[in-house]
Amino acid sequence: MTALEASGTGKGPVADAKASAAGSTPVTPAQHNARKDNRRKWIEIAIFVGPALLMFLAFVVFPMVMAARYSLYKWDSRQPFELAEFIGLDNYTRALFGGTDPETQEIFWKAYAEPFWNAVGNNAQIIALSMLVQLPIAMLIALVLNRKFPGRSSVRLIIFAPYVLAEVTAGLMWLMLLDPRGPVTQMVQGLGLPTPPQGWLEDPTWGFWTFFFIVSWKYIGLAIILFLAGLAGVPEELQEAASIDGASWWQVQWRINIPLIGPTVRVWAFLSIIGSIQLFDMAWVLNKGGSTNQYATIATLMVDTGTQRNDGGYASALAIIMFIFSMAAALLYLTLVMRRDNAARARKGA
Amino acid sequence: MASMRKASAAVAFAASAALLLAACSSDDAGNDPTDAPTGGESSEEKEPVTLTWWHNSVAGDNGQNDLGDYWQSVADAFTAENPHVTIEIEQIQNEDLQRTRIPLALQSGDAPDLFQAWGGGELATQVESGYLMDLSETLADDVTRLGGSVAPWQYEGSTYGLPFQFGVEGIWYRESLFEEAGITEEPATMAELNEAVQALKDADITPIAVGAADGWPAAHWWYNFALRSCPQDVVASAGTTFDFSDPCWVEAGTQLEEFIGTNPFQDQYISTVAQTGATSSAGLVATGEAAMELMGHWNVFVYEGFTDGSDEAIAALHDDLGWFPMPATEGGAGDPSAALGGGDGFACYVDAPPECAEFLSFIVSDENQAGAAEAAGILPVAPAAAEAVTNPVLVELSQVAGNAAYVQLWLDTSFGTNVGGAMNDGIVGIFAGTGDAQDVVDLMTAAALTQ
């Protein structure tokens, strides 16, 4: 007789008693524990997710539903909402194509649809320029900074500094630099070069480009830091192996580093697109989107009509349109571009 | 330990639930201004009353706040006579006060009892919303005493606020620069103004400064051309009918286009702000870089802000500062002596205690108007206080206002934020060269149709 058998027989009656007790009720000890665990799990979920969910409902979903409601009314936002008048989708048609009434369509187009599409165009241009201008520059700087050289960390710090600066601080700083008699103007004129006839930021043609320069200066640091983080994750062995096989520095970057940080680049592009659609702070600080809307975005137009013109219904409609744009951009990007990354991650997880 | 965590999670849960409820109910609170906790009904004599008072006199860069200090002394004098009244003053920066604080306070139903009111379209919106106390009967004597300047604070025959200062605008200029350019007389017609502009250019002096980046300083040029080309009834009724079909409105823009065509303004005027920094339009005039600026009565204080603050510097500035009304244009149905102006006043919240009206009457009394003119240099509304104005330029300005065929409230204030904002945007378009005279009228008409 083995020790095991001995212990088994020794435990016999007790085990039987338990089994019979269990038999009299439908729940086995294992099932009982599972149900308890399940309940415990749900309580934990409720406790941990509940507050966040309520905050989300209160400060994101609720205002959004209210904005959707306001957008269907003619409402002077200084007046109580009972005085508002229901006008259906008029605010939307006014923004998109100047309303449905042929008599007023021409002036509504000029007063509402034109500024709206101008703002949409500015947003779209900023998205496109981010990909065409910011991405290559940021990538180049990140690749250079990825090499070891003395003073590397201070250079990284300097490049990241604008991103850390508060938007308002940076905006006021640029306003002073670009003042009609400010240092930038004087320096450029001192070199004998022409400056924009109506000033850097307010000139109808130059204003947008100056604005894009400032936005790029502000946000390129984020792209570089993200790319550097991605590059740090590229295994050194791969680069060494390629070098031993005779690949030049450029070939290493082009064939190994850049393809391997693809997921990072795609996440940056996603953040950049959403950020460009919602771009507000800098444009507002510089001069509320410009005196002739030369760098107005949908967000500045919305805040301007809502708080300066007090057209609460129309501003709410712009908010909803902007929400739809952001949502569509996010979903499209997630399904078309990032599906691959997510699928790869899912495979790895499994 | 585990129970501690659970307890704090439960607290967080409850707190967020409370926030959600608060968010849901905020709409209702905003809709019912009558449940505000102001002790209106129980106005038994001598029962303690607290008045809250919001005004826009804040300390400047040099820490001085003459008008704010004077308001405090007025409040102290009132409470000394009425010991049952306590007055709580809050000083709030002008744009914050007008655009954010007052509108939100009125909507929330928890509004200050007495607050700054600029009259015109904004006051009309507040009256329509039922936010303001009707003062027509309680302060009938004051309305008569103060005269026509009260009009912007009236709506459909009733008075909802009283002004403490009112002034007209005109062109401020540096006498020494005019002398340098050989200009001996103040321009009285547009032809003379154009000659003066040319003479200044020949002397290498920037003729006129304008802070077009702020919008409204540029827009005021158009207002003046509109005042000269439109008949009085068309201008006066535009704030209520929003009818801009009279061709005089387009004519105003055409005249402005012609004037801009003579290049009278400083370089990069679209990028120039009105009041902040030495490169602002006021800074250019104060430092003697530009000769003229079209501005309201307050600008003498803005110019003073660019001196070192010493008595001699301010006296020297006053010595060299001249003022003349907007010149007459050729043709046009407007009276050449009509003037544009605006002012500051106070209004009482609809549920404020009756002491609010009493205190408002006290603020605009002849004695306190004269006191405010002496202490803070305001342009009083009460005729009896006119003698308290000593600054020679402001005296001239008051005379022009007194002799004007009529004084029209600033057009943007008169039309309200929506149509007024559309108008200003359109005018800045003319200045920037991206829009024309017809655009201004179209933008105003479109905005009026949406409200």
Considering only the beta carbons, identify the residue of A51, A83, A292 that sits closest to B429: A292
pLDDT band at B401 (very low <50, low <70, confident <90, very high): confident
> Which residue shows structure tokens 């370089």?
B267
Q: What is the mean pLDDT of chain B?
A: 87
CA angle A143, A144, A147 (to 5 degrees): 95
- Is B4 a domain residue? no
CA distance A306 to A316: 8
- pLDDT of residue B356 exceeding 90, the answer is yes
Q: Residue B397: what pLDDT?
A: 87
A71 secondary structure, DSSP code:
T
> Is the pLDDT assigned to residue B447 strictly greater than 80?
yes
Expressed as residue numbers, the domain containing B441 is 170-340+409-449
B305's enclosing H/E stretch is none
Assess whether B161 and B224 both reside in one domain.
no
CATH code of the domain in which B59 resides:
3.40.190.10
* String of DSSP letters for A200-269: TTTSTTHHHHHHHHHHHHHHHHHHHHHHHHHHHTS-HHHHHHHHHTT--HHHHIIIIIHHHTHHHHHHHH
The answer to whether A308 contacts B215, with C-beta atoms less than 8 Å apart, is no
Residue B68's closest CA among B80, B77, B56? B56
Residue B151 belongs to a domain:
yes
* Per-residue confidence band for A214, with pLDDT thresholds at 50, 70 and 90: very high
* Unique residue bearing structure tokens 């510097």: B313
- pLDDT at residue B13, rounded to an integer: 43
Q: Model ipTM?
A: 0.82
User: Taking residues B241-262, what's their average pLDDT?
Assistant: 96
Tell me the one-letter amino acid at A68: A
**CB-based burial label for B170 (10 Å; 0-12, 13-18, 19+):** buried
Q: Is the pLDDT of residue B85 over 70?
A: yes
Domain ranges of chain A: 119-349
**Is B253 a member of any domain?**
yes
B419 and B281 in a common domain: yes
| Assigned superfamily of A119-349 | MetI-like (1.10.3720.10)
pLDDT digits (tens, 9 = 90+) for A143-181: 988 888 888 888 888 888 999 999 999 999 999 999 988
A112/B contact by beta carbon, under 8 A: yes
SS3 (DSSP) at B380: strand
Are B364 and B335 contained in the same domain?
Answer: no
Residue type, A172: L
Residue B31 lies in a domain: no
Per-residue pLDDT, B181: 95
Rounded to whole angstroms, the maximal C-alpha distance in chain A is 106
Question: Of the spans A19-28, A332-341, B38-47, B382-391, which averages the highest pLDDT?
Answer: B382-391
Sorting pLDDT into bands at 50, 70 and 90, what band is B15? very low
Beta strands in B92-149 (DSSP E): 114-117
Please state, in angstroms and rounded to a whole number, the distance separating the CA atoms of residues B235 and A40. 74
Relative to beta strand B290-295, strand B49-55 is unpaired
Supply the pLDDT for residue A150.
86
Q: B250 and B331 share a domain? A: yes
Interval B258-315: pLDDT, tens? 999 999 999 999 999 998 888 899 999 999 999 999 999 889 888 988 888 788 988 8
Q: What is the pLDDT of residues B70-82, one digit of tens each?
A: 999 999 999 999 9
Tokens matching residue B312? 């001699």
Asked if residue B376 and residue B242 are part of one domain, the reply reads: no
Quote the strand ranges of chain A, DSSP E.
Answer: 73-74, 85-86
Q: Are residues B180 and B162 in the same domain?
A: no
Instruction: Determine, for residues A197 and B99 on separate chains, whether the beta-carbon distance falls below 8 Å.
Output: no
A·B CB contacts under 8 A: 144
Question: What pLDDT, on the 0 to 100 scale, is given for residue B331?
Answer: 82
- Give domain status of residue B281, yes or no: yes
Nearest Cβ partner for A180 among B33, B279, B450? B279
Q: What is the pLDDT of residue B38?
A: 46
Q: Is A161 on the interface with B (CB under 8 A)?
A: no
3-class DSSP assignment, residue B12: helix
B106, B267, B447 ranked by CB distance to A180: nearest: B267
**Owner of token pair 């019979």:** A20
Do residue B243 and residue B351 come from a single domain? no
Enumerate the residues of chain A whose CB falls inside 8 A of the CB of residue B27: 66, 81
| Number of compact structural domains in chain B | 2
Q: How would residue B45 be classed by pLDDT, with cut points 50, 70 and 90?
A: low
Q: How many of the other CB atoms lie within 10 Å of CB of A69?
A: 15
8 Å CB contact of B107 and A197: no
Question: Do B355 and B211 share a structural domain?
Answer: no
* Residue B423 domain flag: yes
Residues in chain A: 350
Angle CA(B45)–CA(B47)–CA(B49) in degrees, nearest 5?
Answer: 115
Instruction: Give the integer Cα–Cα distance in Å for B15 and B388.
Output: 58
- In terms of domains, do B334 and B346 share one? no
pLDDT category, A349, cuts 50, 70, 90?
low
Residues B121 and B204 reside in one and the same domain? no
The pLDDT tens digits for A173-208 are: 999 999 988 899 999 999 999 899 899 999 998 999
Structure confidence at residue B100 (pLDDT): 87
Terminal C-alpha separation, chain B: 60
Provide the 3-class DSSP secondary structure of residue B265: strand
Listed in order, strand segments (DSSP E) in A255-336 are: none
The reported pLDDT for the residue numbered B300 is: 87
Q: Which residues in chain B are closer than 8 Å to A78, comparing Cβ atoms? A: 103, 106-107, 125-126, 129
B332 within domain boundaries: yes
pLDDT at A26 over 80: no
What is the rounded CA–CA span in Å between residue B36 and residue B31? 11
Query: Does position B7 have pLDDT exceeding 70, yes or no?
Result: no
Does a structural domain hold residue B326? yes
Please tell me whether residues B109 and B53 are part of one structural domain: yes
CB contact under 8 A, B279 and A76: no
pLDDT at residue B365 is higher than 90:
yes
Dist CA B274 CA A207 (whole Å): 20
Sole residue written with tokens 């339009």: B281
Distances (CA, A) of B201 to B55, B191, B287, B291: 42, 15, 17, 10
Residue where the block lists tokens 């350019």:
B181
User: pLDDT at residue A346 above 90?
Assistant: no
**pLDDT tens track for A105-137:** 999 999 999 999 999 999 999 999 999 999 999
Among B15, B266, B418, the residue with its CB nearest the CB of A309 is: B418
**Residue A2, both tokens:** 């083995």
pLDDT value at position B190?
94
Q: Convert B1-17 to b/e letters by CB count within 10 Å (16 or more is b).
A: eeeeeeeebeebbeebe
Residue B158: the pLDDT is 94
Which chain A residues in 277-306 lie under 8 Å from chain B, judged by CB atoms? 287, 291-292
Least confident of B24-38, B313-327, B396-410: B24-38
pLDDT at residue B8, as a whole number: 46
Cβ contact, residue pair B271, A199, below 8 Å: yes
